[in-house]
Amino acid sequence: MHVGVFERAHRGTLFLDEVGELPLAAQVKLLRVLQERQLRRVGGATQIDVDVRLIAATNRSLVEMVAAGTFREDLFYRLDVFAIAVPPLRERKADLAPLVVALTARLAAKLELPTPIVSRVVMARLEAHAWPGNVRELMNVLEAAMILGGGRALELPDDLGRNQRSATGPQFDAAVRTTLEESLRATHGKIYGPGGAAERLGLKPGTLQSKMRKLGIDRRRFT
């Protein structure tokens, strides 16, 4: 029988991310486990004791959700024992530089590219942006900037930070699409090998194909 996360976390710590997204039916089940410190497996007949330290996170206002009736008040008070408010990225710009270093290293490993050097000009532009999407937006921007830079440097879009617009939406996707399509057009759809689009972009062929699938780019258009 399947062992769930609460049972596996017995006498340990369980982290629940985006707890504000839980539907009301799931909130009832979570509240029952927290109150009774017991659970029953799906299809099971016996109650199982669980002792779990719970850490929950959300970027939504649970107080407002309680007022709106979309989050149970009794569950809110069960979770709100010791609250830690994490300020948004725009209010902790001192964290931006170490975050950029850590994220570019992680993305370089994922994309199989060398870790780019972040110039002062690039960092100044990153610091000038309000980051309404916080760290998720920053990661998306850095990933696209590494692709646009062809694995050599971070190449940010011209409109980053202009009018405080997010760079993770249609504008950035369009910029990445244009870069990939230009390389495919120049190589007549060739991806692999010397002179192929992957080599021109400084990407692994598999990484390039993954990005093409994500953006709906068909190589046959350029052959």
pTM for the full model?
A: 0.58
What confidence tier does 57 reach under pLDDT thresholds 50, 70, 90? very high
If you compute the radius of gyration of the chain from its CA atoms, what whole number of angstroms results? 23
Per-residue pLDDT tens for 20-31? 999 999 999 999
Cα gap 141→126, rounded to integer Å? 10
CA torsion 215-219-221-223 (nearest 10°) is: 160
Residue 137: both structure tokens together = 């937006």
Alpha-carbon distances, residue 136 vs 10, 132, 167, 218 (angstroms)? 31, 10, 11, 28
Q: How many CB atoms lie within 10 A of CB 134?
A: 14
Cα gap 165→169, rounded to integer Å? 9
Measure the CA angle with vertex 57, ends 54 and 60; round to 5°: 140
Sketch out the chain's domains with CATH numbers.
Answer: 5-79 (3.40.50.300), 89-222 (no CATH)
Would you state the pLDDT for residue 172? 65
Would you state the pLDDT for residue 151? 67
Strands (DSSP E) contained in 36-183 are: 38-39, 48-49, 52-56
Mean local confidence (pLDDT), 169-192:
81
